[in-house]
Chains A and B, each alone.
Chain A
């Protein structure tokens, strides 16, 4: 069974630009969560999607948004990039948090560098 796949692996963007990251969950998993990982703040929750609906959101500005498609693939978008957005962005897939199938498996991440 294929794992969680994130594309692209690396991105370099300029301040003010926008970026879209993609995450394909494990087959059969319907919940996709996104996290930002930085040396200073660690792993921080961005949002979670299930059946194309955002069910939960962390404490990030509105420049961070996402969506999920009918095949459970998810994208996150960051608009008006700032230097502080440089980070490793990880997505995690799970079966379903409602039924307590909460084991979360991470993708390899997308390393975003804003210059």
Chain B
């Protein structure tokens, strides 16, 4: 079945720095790649997503890039703020009803 590898598992940055999280997927038919942010004790929140017909998408300080050939996609957060501290999950889907396959998560800590 589909597998998603996510790296790094933890990431510590200083406020104002950039943060990059990378994911690799195995199913070449996957066509939908969302990113979720989960704060402690809260629900996963969709922060940005990208479909396979697009190479890059940006929303203010957040951007996602997709390389279909290499089957990997990345989340870029610029000008990080302490409130960006959370667990970030990548996922892949679109080939199987209702199913997203998630990476193991990255704990991002932004130090003031």
Chain A residues near B (Cβ < 8 Å): 4, 31-33, 42-45, 47-50, 55-56, 58-59, 90, 92, 94, 97-98, 100, 102-109
Which residue of chain B has the shortest Cβ distance to A48 in the bound complex? B98
Q: When the two chains form their complex, are residues A45 and B101 in contact, meaning their CB atoms are under 8 A apart?
A: yes
The size class of the interface chain B forms with chain A is 20 to 34
Q: When the two chains form their complex, are residues A42 and B98 in contact, meaning their CB atoms are under 8 A apart?
A: no
Complex CA gap A92/B100 in Å reads 10
Complex CA gap A21/B103 in Å reads 25
Q: When the two chains form their complex, are residues A97 and B43 in contact, meaning their CB atoms are under 8 A apart?
A: no
Number of A-B contacts (CB under 8 A): 68
Q: When the two chains form their complex, are residues A102 and B32 in contact, meaning their CB atoms are under 8 A apart?
A: yes
Chain B residues near A (Cβ < 8 Å): 1, 32, 34, 36, 42-46, 49, 51, 89, 91, 93-94, 96-105
Complex CA gap A94/B100 in Å reads 12
Interface of A is mostly: strand
Q: When the two chains form their complex, are residues B43 and A48 in contact, meaning their CB atoms are under 8 A apart?
A: no
Q: When the two chains form their complex, are residues A56 and B96 in contact, meaning their CB atoms are under 8 A apart?
A: yes
